[in-house]
Amino acid sequence: MYARIRDTTIYFDIDGMGLVPDGPRMRERPVAFVIHGGPGSDHSGFKPGYTPLTRAMQLVYFDHRGQGRSARDGDPARWTLDENVEDMEALRRHLGLGPIVSIGTSYGGMVGMAHAARYPDAVSHLILIVTAAHGGFIRRAREILAERGTAEQQAITASLWDGGFRSEEDVRRFHTVMGPLYSRRFDAEKARPALARLPYAPEPLNRAFGPDGFLRRFDLRPEFARITAPTLIIAGRHDWICPPEFSEEIHRLIPGSQFQVFEDSSHSIRADEPERLMAAILGFVGAPTGIGCGGAGSRGGAR
């Protein structure tokens, strides 16, 4: 489905029922926006992994402008975090929704944080998965890559730091080579079909991470005082690109937030510890977790 909002067209998809029978009435379920990472990726990597959440919520997936199945027209200089925040809010209003559950992963968490700060009345719960609040994560990721990465991984990541991706296939090869760092369970053969169907967009990725990329300059920490939604922050212990120290920092700066570290995960928690991730999200929003998702015991601090 497509929504013509602001100056672009945003692709979105919906999973799960919004109204469910509950005795003599129909009960309305909360709506969650699932915010994808990248930039330059799309929402489809969450499917079908996030389907267990539809037992308690209706999910709205969407692709950021300039990537996925959303329009790639307009000025590429506007393929930025600030524009993604405004698009997200415009989509919420377009769909006639009240406060949403906001689930942001990696770059999607950055968008989710900024949206929750700039539109606090629009968010009922904020869930931030393997993310960071400022551009310092890039310097730290480069240090970790130098420590852990193979020669091939370090060579191919030069395209990320240099803004050098030229084609969809360049980005696909990057994710294939870097797969073992993104996920502790990475299997190249099993991952091949998923990587093949992702419509990667190199230009948004270059504009985010390249030498003058906006992710090198952004800093959301001064905006945290405006976040009012209950917040859950989840980190992967072995994450190389958004290491857990950045999630710990967000936890310290958002009063009352909850924090969990997934000890057996890297950046792709939904691949490394999927059942525990689903249980953690459902438990946080007050939904029953006994639906085959496993336990959600926290291994991090909470306050």
The rounded percent of the chain whose pLDDT value lies above 70 is 95
Residue-level pLDDT at 290: 53
Q: Is the pLDDT of residue 1 over 50?
A: yes
3-class DSSP state of 25: strand
* 238-275 tens-digit pLDDT: 999 999 999 999 999 999 999 999 999 999 999 999 99
**pTM greater than 0.85:** yes
Local structure of residue 254 (DSSP, 8 states): S
The rounded percent of the chain whose pLDDT value lies above 90 is 91
Superfamily of domain 2-134+219-284: Alpha/Beta hydrolase fold, catalytic domain (3.40.50.1820)
What is the rounded average pLDDT for all residues in the chain? 94
3-state secondary structure labels for all residues of 185-240: CCCHHHHHHHHHHCCCCHHHHHHHHCCCCHHHCCECHHHHHHCCCCEEEEEECCCC
Contact 149, 157 (CB under 8 A): yes
**C-alpha dihedral (263, 265, 270, 271), degrees to nearest 10:** -130
- Count other Cβ atoms within 10 Å, centred on residue 43: 25
Tokens of 271: 């691949």
Nearest CA-CA partner of 230 in 254, 260, 206: 254
Q: CA 293 to CA 3: how far, in whole Å?
A: 33
Residue-level pLDDT at 194: 87
* 181-233 tens-digit pLDDT: 999 999 999 899 989 998 999 999 999 999 999 999 999 999 999 999 999 99
Tokens of 71: 């329009």
Bridge partner residues of 61 (DSSP): 13, 34
The residue-averaged pLDDT of 276-298 equals 71
Residue-level pLDDT at 178: 97
CA max distance for the chain: 63
Per-residue pLDDT band for 289 (boundaries 50, 70, 90) equals: low
Per-residue pLDDT band for 299 (boundaries 50, 70, 90) equals: very low
Bridge partner residues of 9 (DSSP): 4
Residue-level pLDDT at 295: 36
Specify the amino acid at residue 35: I
Rounded alpha-carbon distances, angstroms, from residue 284 to 112, 172, 201: 16, 34, 33
Give the gyration radius of the chain's Cα atoms: 18
Q: CA 185 to CA 299: how far, in whole Å?
A: 20
